[in-house]
Amino acid sequence: MKHATNAAFRRNTRICEVTMSLKVCLAGATGWAGSELARGIAANSDLDLVAAVSRRHAGQPLGTALGDAAITTPVFASAAEALAARCDVFVEYTHPDTARANILAALEHGAHVVVGTSGLSDEDYARIDAVARERGRGVLACGNFALTAVLLIKFSEMAAKILPQWEIIDYAYAGKPDAPSGTVRELATRMGKVRQPRLEVPLEQTKGLRETRGGTLAGSQVHAVRLPGFVLGAETIFGLPDQTLSIRHNAGGSAKPYVDGALLAIRKVSTLTGLHRGLDAVLEL
């Protein structure tokens, strides 16, 4: 009788573990970053990828597009169709022109949302925050899921409280059309909320080519480098008399650096209510 009881307990425990897994819907599941994240979700037993969004691959299993037959997640042409399958967390990894509608639809369906898409406006985020709070759901929007990029921003904020002068370098591949990058925009914006850096020589007093002093973003001077050999990176350089501090993040050519941070966001977003910006919102720093 004791053995039968133990066996039943083990069965019930396994059932509980299955039901405890987070159901995830991933929009942009076949893109550069989304496909790597899809593989990461599928590889973790506490996550269940129940639906994917990709117009090009709609109607077939996700594994067909990713070259992994073990991933049987159905692919839908739109977020509205995919959300018919109930999910706990909706991950938005598509394009700015569809992101807002996808996020609001997910909130209306009762899902928490992780946002990896950049390019949304402050007005977009204000609307998203209002709906999320009304629905009692969390939205975690991250300009960069790479853990080293998250730490770059956090450490730079900490240093800005003590060091009054800095400039930012934005590194990227030669063909990147936007400048600065989304990561550097977030970096400059967050540092600007700490304080405005001091300039020894005001920009209007620059002699020669004023443009060589870079562009001003949220009070910081930003210099964008676009050359072959770089992929994505950012550096904050602080200066004091006879000493400097450099905090730098570099990412390679694959999407792997962004997976661990995105998985962390998926697991933690349900602890939030309303909109939160930056992965450090759920990191114990």
Q: Tell me the pLDDT tens digit for each residue of 157-203.
A: 999 999 999 999 999 999 998 899 888 988 999 999 999 999 999 99
**Average pLDDT of the residues in 237-241:** 98
- State what percent of residues in the chain have pLDDT above 70: 93
Tokens of 57: 């691959």
pLDDT, mean of residues 114-132: 92
Instruction: Quote the domain boundaries for residue 44.
Output: 16-141
Verify that 135 and 154 share a domain, yes or no: no
Q: What is the CATH number of the domain that holds 115?
A: 3.40.50.720
How many domains are contained in the chain?
2
Q: Is residue 156 part of a domain?
A: yes
Question: Do the Cβ atoms of 13 and 40 come closer than 8 Å?
Answer: no
Q: How far apart are CA 92 and CA 89, in angstroms?
A: 10
Give me the helices (H) in 43-167, please.
Answer: 62-66, 79-82, 96-108, 122-135, 147-160
6 pLDDT tier (thresholds 50, 70, 90): low
pLDDT of 18 higher than 90: no
In terms of Cα–Cα distance, which of 269, 278, 75 is closest to 185? Answer: 278
- Do residues 53 and 82 lie in contact, with contact meaning Cβ atoms separated by under 8 Å? yes
Considering the entire predicted model, what is its pTM?
Answer: 0.81
How far is residue 127's CA from residue 131's CA, in Å, rounded to a whole number? Answer: 6
Is 245 inside a domain boundary?
yes
| Mean pLDDT taken over the chain | 92
Query: Which helix (H) or strand (E) segment is 222 a member of?
Result: strand 220-226
Of 109, 141, 173, the position where a domain reaches its end is 141
Q: What is the pLDDT of residues 60-104, one digit of tens each?
A: 999 999 999 999 999 999 999 999 989 999 999 998 899 999 999
- Please say if the pLDDT value at position 15 is more than 60: no
Residue 131 and residue 185 share a domain: no
What is the domain-level CATH number for residue 244?
3.30.360.10
- Return the pLDDT at 96: 86
Using CA atoms, how far apart are residues 184 and 168, in angstroms rounded to an integer?
A: 8
Evaluate if residue 23 carries a pLDDT over 60: yes
In this predicted structure, the answer to whether residue 118 has a pLDDT above a threshold of 90 is: no
pLDDT in tens, 206-229: 999 999 999 999 999 999 999 999
Tokens of 244: 């400097």
Residue 93 has what pLDDT?
A: 94
39-43 mean pLDDT = 96
Instruction: Say yes or no: 117 and 162 in one domain.
Output: no
